[in-house]
Homo-oligomer: A and B are copies of this chain.
Amino acid sequence: RSNARAAAAASSSMQSFPHLQPSHRDLMSDLLSAVEARLGPTLLPSSVPPDVLSFTNQQGTSQGALDIRSGAPDSPVDFILQSWLHCKVPIGDLNITTLFAFLNASVDAPHLVLEFIQGSPTSLILLMDLIPRKDLVLHPEYLDEIYDKTHLDKRRQALARLPQVSPYISSSLYIRSVLSPTAISVNIDCGGEGESGIEEIILLHVGPAAKDIVGIWLDLCTSRTRDLGEAERAEMVRRDTLIKNKTVEIDLAANLPRLFGSDVVDRIVREIQKAFRI
C-alpha cells in the first residue's frame, strides 16, 4: 500500500515537470497527451518501481523521473520511455526532458525521439526526429513515403532559419548515423533576450513543429501497419536491437553516472534494459 502510494506520487511527479519553464512544461504535457490519446489504450500499465519513477543523487542536487510503458500484444508500440532530469551543475541548472517511442516489428513506421536539453535559462538543445527503421540508401521508396511526402523537412527548415538557431551536431558518429535526413538537431541561444526569448521560441516555433512531427508520427504508426516479409522484418529487428544497445551505451552509460552516482544509474539502466529487452 505504501508502495502503491509512492508509485502514484512518483508517477505524478513524472507528469508534472516541476522544474521547467511554463511554455516548455505545457508543450511536454500536450505532446504526452497527444501520444496517450492515440496509443494509450494499446499500452500496458507501467511496471517501473517507485525508486526509478523518481530518484535523486545522494547530495540531493540532482533529481530525475523515468517511466516506461510497453505495448500490449496488439500494439504497434514496443515501449514508450519518458523522463526528466534536473541537476544543479557548477554553471547553473541542467534540465533534460526525453520522449522516446520505439515501435515493434508489426510496423515499419519510424521511431520517435524528442529530447530537450536546457543547460541555461536562455539556451536549449533540441533533438526531434523520426528515426528510420531501414537503410534509406537501399530503400528510397521508404525515404520518399516517410520523409518526403510528409514534408518533414519544412519543419526543420523553418527552425533553421531563425537567427537564434544553429546546428547541433552530436559528438557520437553513431547517433548521427541513426538520425534521419530531416532530423531537427539544433542549438537555440537567446542570450541577449533572456528567459523570455526561449519561452517565446518554444511557444511560437518549437511547439508547433513538435506537435506537427508527433502528429505525423502518430499517423504513420497506424497507417504503416502491413504485412512485412520475413527477411525484411528480421533485418528491421536486427537494426532496432543495435540502435537500442548503442543508444543505451552512448547516452546513458556515458553521462548519467557523473550526475547521479553509479548506484542510482545501475538501477535505471537495469530497468531500461528490461524494457528494451537487450
Contact = CB atoms under 8 A, between A and B. Distances in A.
Interface of A: 135-138, 140, 143, 147-148, 153, 160, 167, 169, 173-174, 176-178, 181-182, 235, 238-239, 242-243, 246
B176 A138 contact: no
B140 A138 contact: no
Identical chains in the assembly: 2
Nearest to A169: B160
Contacts of A143: 173-174, 177
Q: Which of A135, A143, A174 has its CB near the most chain B CB atoms (within 10 A)? A: A135
Contact of A137 (B140, B147, B177, B181): B177
Given A136-B177, A138-B235, A140-B242, 8 more contacts: A138-B238, A138-B242, A140-B174, A143-B173, A143-B174, A148-B173, A160-B169, A177-B181
Contacts of A148: 173
B246 A178 contact: no
A141 to B, nearest CB: 11
7 contacts: A135-B137, A136-B177, A138-B239, A140-B246, A143-B173, A147-B173, A173-B182
A138 B140 CA distance: 17
Contacts of A243: 137
A176 B156 CA distance: 14
A152 to B, nearest CB: 9
Nearest to A170: B181
Contacts of A135: 135, 137-138, 239
A174 B235 CA distance: 21
8 tightest A-B contacts by CB? A176-B181, A135-B135, A136-B177, A173-B181, A177-B181, A137-B177, A138-B239, A167-B167
